[in-house]
Amino acid sequence: MSDSRVHVRLQQVQDYQFRHHYNGLDATVLGDEPLPLGQAQGPSPVQLLASAVGNCLADSLLFALRKFKQAPDPLQCDVLAEVGRNAEGRMRVLGLQATLTLGVPAAQLAHLPRVLEQFESFCTVTQSVGQGIAVQVVVRDSTGAVLKG
């Protein structure tokens, strides 16, 4: 049994364009497939998936650092989705690589090793997606030093 439910309604605008309505929010997103199937007027389903994983990871890292009263802002997250054919020849998301970049040098953040060890396990979306798609996570500080991954 789930603790809560999230409702999103998609309404076709035309062809492969769908307006995404989020329950309780005035904001909407126009999703579309890339050319030649769609018109590339909005993010594709793969981009939305990558966006959700990156957003959740960034939220989890920020929350974990703020628990220790640390200020890593501004965070950045880049997500690369590898799309290719599976064994049956069908297009699939084969893997995701997320690179989180802190807005400050690692030396300015207390408890960072503990945070880096734990934050991913609290990311609802990434942990769920990771059960079917490999997700690699890299964390860098503002100097470019690799802290995880």
**Residue 55 pLDDT:** 98
- List, for residues 46-94, the tens digit of each pLDDT value: 999 999 999 999 999 999 999 999 999 999 999 999 999 999 999 999 9
Pick the CATH number of 45-148 from 3.30.300.20, 3.10.310.10, 3.50.50.60, 3.10.20.740: 3.30.300.20
Does pTM surpass 0.75? yes
- Tokens (6 digits) for 26: 């005035």
Domain boundary assignment for the chain? 1-43, 45-148
Distances (CA, A) of 90 to 76, 86, 87, 95: 32, 5, 8, 15
